[in-house]
Chain A
Amino acid sequence: MAGLIKSKGILFFIPLLFLCTLTTGCADKFPENKIIGGQPYSLLNQDSDSVVFPNDFKGKIVVMSFIYTNCPDICPLTTHNMQSIQEQVKKVNIKNVQFLELSFDPDRDTPSVLKEYGNIRNIDYSNFEFLTGKKSVVDTLLRHMNVVALQGDTTFTKSGTPVYFFTHTDRITLIDPKGKIRNEYRGSKTNIAEIVNDIKTLGD
């Protein structure tokens, strides 16, 4: 009798285990499962259109990076990597993916400056947006996404233009369709295939 109960218990346990594996398998592949605090955030894109983050992108896989356009070395590498990921995602025909680059220098990175930065790099805007906004809003969002941008000393050109740079987090963040952060990668030196695979996993 005891043996029968034991074997019945196992029979019940095996499908339960299988179901758990099915439902949590995807979640286990990602190191993060964080809600972005303080939302929603009212921002502007490169066309000065109003964007509410992350609400406007719920239901989409979001690949998000953090830049400032006066950065000539690291940030263009990140933008280039974002473009490469976008191209790969298109090639393997993964739909429902949105690419976002948030400026942590909103005082200088107005929508038109971001548009110019994108245009000169031939950005495909079909699912790619640059974001900026009020400094207080951007700073709060950066804090909730654990992105640091420290402004350095200001010098001036001969014409009196202020020149300053940031020491900053170098990151690309992957957000799932529910708006949760699922993985974080280095922005300037990143494994494109790894991110594309993670996007595929989230899309499955």
Chain B
Amino acid sequence: MTILLTILTLLNFHTPNLKVEGAWLRPAGKGMNSALYFEIVNNSNKPDTLYKVTSPAAELVQIHETFKTNGLMGMREVRFVVVKPHSTLTFQPGGYHVMFIKLKKDFKVNGKVNAVLYFKTNKEIKIKALVKRQ
């Protein structure tokens, strides 16, 4: 029992509190816009807050959500997104996404794009997102 508890403790120790997985972007041409999607996995007992994303690949990067009103679809900027303890928050088409506005280069299928996600507690997480058609 003690050994098992020790192993579980060690495993937990090695699991990062916050992970960003499966990051991908839509293809788009230079000067156009794209959207970044990913999953934020919060393994900790505390919530964390994503409040900013930066990337050298776009002139402007904003956190957005897609909404539906009176049968119409729209997008709006959100200042922050909270990831609850022991939960996964998914940025996906038709929901939360990170807007890459005025791309500085073509985002071609299978290309990689760097970005940094800023969290209140866990500070910065650097990611490399894959450009794919979906």
Contacts and interface: CB of A to CB of B under 8 A. Distances in A.
B102 A161 contact: yes
A73 B33 CA distance: 9
Nearest to A115: B29
Interface residues of B, number: 31
A194 interface: no
Contacts of A69: 32
Contacts of B66: 73-74
B73 A188 contact: yes
B18 interface: no
Given A76-B26, A120-B29, A167 B69 contact: yes
A167 B72 contact: yes
A148 B73 CA distance: 10
Interface stretch (B6-14, B80-88, B93-101, B119-127): B93-101
B52 interface: no
Interface of A is mostly: loop
B94 A73 contact: yes
A72 B61 CA distance: 12
B35 A72 contact: yes
Contact of B74 (A120, A158, A168, A188): A168
Interface string A27-58: 00000000000000000000000000000000
B129 to A, nearest CB: 13
B74 A167 contact: yes
Given A70-B33, A157-B59, A158-B59, A152 B74 contact: yes
A114 to B, nearest CB: 11
Interface residues of A, number: 32
A158 B134 CA distance: 30
Contact of A163 (B102, B107, B108): B102
A35 to B, nearest CB: 23
A71 interface: yes
8 contacts: A117-B28, A120-B107, A150-B72, A157-B102, A159-B102, A161-B59, A161-B102, A167-B72
Interface of B: 26-29, 32-35, 59-60, 64, 66, 69, 71-75, 93-94, 97, 99-102, 106-109, 133-134
Interface of A: 69-74, 76-77, 80, 113, 116-117, 119-122, 148, 150, 152, 157-159, 161, 163, 165-170, 188-189
Given A72-B99, A119-B29, 9 more contacts: A71-B75, A120-B27, A120-B29, A120-B107, A159-B59, A161-B102, A170-B72, A188-B94, A189-B94
